[in-house]
């Protein structure tokens, strides 16, 4: 029996980095018009959503592919501006809609019942280092359990949930949010592959674990340790278990990681921060201990941002935190605090703007990701007065990566790129480094970017179609999915030109 034609297309189109110019295939306009009319007749509401809702029938996607090929540049067609034509914009919108609809119709893997109380026989080894606020342990093999240190809240269940409501609200899954009281104060983060999600939570008695007296004696209640200051009960959250922290991953694989895997780590970090920024949340305690990585034998590592104890997530203030007294906490580790946060002075009406503070921390973390020390670790550079050219050279990476990291570490926040631009630049360096090297032939570059965007969006749609649940999607396709669902050709062009120090002008034709 001959294979289904869509299967052949899926086998032929593998998601991989772009190398060289895409040569489009041209078909006559009437064919695409016929396909377009057929697609419209099969769907109502958002274009193509109904068409891709039935994941058992891939034929419409194959027809979409055939119709898509018509949209290639014809022999005598040239780019007339730095923006897409209405026809191309419509095509891009429909391709993204098709990708979005396909992704949304892949079910989320169900989480088995976690329970409503602590089961000490399921607690395994400690994961990472204990912080001043919590400790994390392996739990029931595939999960991780976070135990909050409770010094002040009374031991009643509702009081405990209120005391730790910020992280519960920000990170809880939809299923868990129904049980969290008073969620209106904090931002509820939509799910994202690079942000850790709370799968369950419950209050229970603080246990005496094997390393407790050595690691966090003050957090223990006096019934367990005479010199402890903790309460008898505290709150526990359950999350998915990862291989280890970013710091552990880098130390373990030092000098053995390909540049593409390192770029994948930076790209996922920036995509996660973009998601936080869009939703009005600042992490404020980014460091390699607060970032987890799942190793992969054959593919890219999966990165998630976790530990939101210090995050700024109140809806009423957004990313501008009032700073009228020095008793207000600026956040976590001072080594990763952006210059505008470190130098902030309290006073009436004063505020600290955190809109680009996490971005600066990501630039510092990039040094660790690429195997070097934190650029301010030796304290020879004054964080409040340095010039970005005074920072240690980032070795062993392409020049465009150095440009990106320098941009993230600009001392003044106005000189840093928007986090969206930084994430887009990192994505393009990961998937299409050849395109990022071109900037002086704008017409050629624009057409190449258009064709790349169209090809990659359709290719990914066909690739993820076959997966039975979200967790089965390989990390590299998940990274690309995060990107292609949110970007457009103009943003890609802006990121590429920014990497070359060229400010994009949408009104010019050169």
In tens, the pLDDT along 407-417 reads: 999 999 999 99
Share of the chain above pLDDT 70, in %: 79
pLDDT band at 73 (very low <50, low <70, confident <90, very high): very low
Model pLDDT, residue 47: 44
Model pLDDT, residue 28: 34
Model pLDDT, residue 160: 86
Tokens coding 332: 């976590």
In tens, the pLDDT along 78-129 reads: 434 456 888 888 888 888 998 999 999 988 877 776 778 999 999 999 998 7
Per-residue pLDDT at 8 exceeds 50: no
Q: Which residue has the higher pLDDT, 217 or 4?
A: 217
Model pLDDT, residue 174: 60
In tens, the pLDDT along 357-404 reads: 999 999 999 999 999 999 988 767 888 889 999 899 999 999 999 999
Average pLDDT, the chain: 82
Per-residue pLDDT at 338 exceeds 60: yes
* Other beta carbons less than 10 A from residue 383's beta carbon: 18
Dihedral sign of CA atoms 245, 187, 166, 104 in order:
negative
Per-residue pLDDT at 180 exceeds 80: no
Q: What residues have CB less than 8 Å from 63, skipping those under 6 apart? A: 35, 38, 39
Tokens coding 483: 């990107």
Tokens coding 343: 């130098």
Give the residue-averaged pLDDT of 280-295: 95
pLDDT band at 7 (very low <50, low <70, confident <90, very high): very low
Tokens coding 473: 């999607």
Residue-wise DSSP of 33-77: HHHHHHHHHH--SSTTHHHHH-TT--HHHHHHHHHHHHTSPPTT-
Q: Which residue has the higher pLDDT, 337 or 438?
A: 337
In tens, the pLDDT along 419-433 reads: 999 999 999 999 999
Model pLDDT, residue 162: 83
In tens, the pLDDT along 122-177 reads: 999 999 877 888 999 999 888 999 999 999 998 787 888 888 888 888 988 765 55
* 150-159, 266-275, 381-390, 500-509: segment of lowest average pLDDT: 500-509
In tens, the pLDDT along 460-476 reads: 999 998 898 888 899 99
End-to-end CA distance of the chain: 53
Model pLDDT, residue 46: 46
203 three-class SS: strand
Q: What residues have CB less than 8 Å from 386, skipping those under 6 apart? A: 411
Which of 285, 309, 358, 448 is an active site residue? Answer: 285
Give the residue-averaged pLDDT of 198-202: 90
User: Which residue's entry shows tokens 């405990």?
Assistant: 160
Q: What residues have CB less than 8 Å from 55, skipping those under 6 apart? A: 102, 105, 106, 465
Q: Which residue has the higher pLDDT, 253 or 9?
A: 253
Share of the chain above pLDDT 90, in %: 57
**121 among known catalytic residues:** no
Model pLDDT, residue 150: 95
Question: What residue ranges define each of the domains in the chain, with the CATH number in brackets?
Answer: 5-107+434-499 (no CATH), 120-241 (3.30.200), 246-430 (1.10.510.10)
Please give the Cα distance from 425 to 510 (Å, whole number): 21
Tokens coding 364: 């510092």
Tokens coding 149: 């240190």
**DSSP code for 128:** S
Instruction: Give pTM, 2 decimals.
Output: 0.85
pLDDT band at 265 (very low <50, low <70, confident <90, very high): very high
Give the residue-averaged pLDDT of 66-71: 47
Output the CA torsion 452→458→460→465 (10° steps): 180
């Amino acid at each position: 029996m001959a294979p289904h034609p869509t299967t052949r297309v899926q086998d032929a189109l593998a998601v991989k980095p772009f190398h060289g110019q895409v040569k489009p295939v041209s078909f006559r306009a009437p064919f695409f018009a016929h396909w377009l009319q057929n697609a419209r007749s099969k769907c109502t509401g958002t274009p193509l959503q109904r068409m891709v809702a039935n994941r058992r029938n891939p034929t419409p996607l194959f027809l979409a592919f055939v119709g898509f090929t018509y949209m290639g540049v014809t022999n005598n067609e040239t780019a007339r501006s730095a923006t897409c034509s209405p026809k191309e914009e419509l095509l891009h919108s429909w391709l993204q809609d098709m990708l979005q609809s396909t992704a949304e119709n892949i079910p989320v893997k169900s989480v088995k019942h976690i329970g409503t109380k602590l089961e000490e026989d399921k607690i395994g080894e400690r994961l990472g280092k204990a912080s001043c606020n919590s400790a994390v342990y392996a739990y029931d093999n595939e999960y991780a359990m976070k135990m909050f240190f409770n010094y002040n809240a009374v031991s009643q269940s509702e009081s405990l949930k209120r005391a730790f409501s910020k992280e519960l609200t920000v990170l809880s899954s939809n299923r868990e949010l129904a049980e969290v009281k008073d969620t209106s104060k904090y931002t509820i983060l939509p799910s994202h592959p690079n942000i850790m999600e709370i799968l369950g939570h419950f209050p229970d008695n603080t246990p005496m674990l094997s390393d407790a007296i050595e690691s966090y004696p003050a957090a223990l209640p006096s019934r367990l340790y005479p010199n402890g200051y903790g309460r008898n009960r505290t709150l526990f959250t359950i999350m998915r278990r990862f291989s280890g922290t970013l710091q552990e991953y880098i130390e373990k694989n030092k000098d053995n990681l390909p540049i593409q895997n390192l770029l994948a780590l930076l790209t996922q970090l920036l995509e996660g921060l973009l998601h936080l920024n869009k939703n009005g949340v600042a992490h404020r305690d980014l460091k390699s201990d607060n970032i987890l990585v799942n190793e992969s034998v054959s593919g890219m590592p999966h990165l998630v941002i976790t530990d939101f104890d210090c995050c700024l997530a109140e809806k009423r203030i957004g990313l501008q935190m009032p700073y009228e007294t020095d008793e207000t906490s600026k956040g976590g580790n001072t080594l990763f605090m952006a210059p505008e946060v470190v130098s902030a002075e309290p006073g009436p009406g004063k505020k600290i703007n955190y809109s680009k503070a996490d971005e600066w921390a990501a630039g510092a973390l990039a040094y660790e990701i690429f195997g070097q020390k934190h650029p301010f670790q030796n304290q020879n550079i004054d964080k409040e007065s340095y010039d970005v050219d005074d920072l240690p050279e980032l070795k062993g990476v392409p020049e465009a990566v150095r440009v990106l990291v320098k941009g993230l570490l600009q001392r003044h926040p106005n000189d840093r790129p928007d986090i969206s631009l930084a994430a887009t630049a990192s994505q393009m360096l990961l998937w299409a480094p050849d395109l990022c090297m071109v900037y002086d032939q704008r017409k050629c570059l624009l057409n190449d970017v258009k064709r790349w965007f169209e090809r990659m969006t359709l290719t990914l749609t066909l690739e993820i179609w076959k997966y039975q649940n979200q967790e089965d999607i390989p990390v590299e396709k998940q990274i690309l999915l995060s990107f292609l669902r949110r970007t457009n050709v103009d943003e890609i062009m802006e990121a590429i030109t920014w990497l070359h120090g060229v400010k994009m002008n949408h009104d010019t034709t050169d």
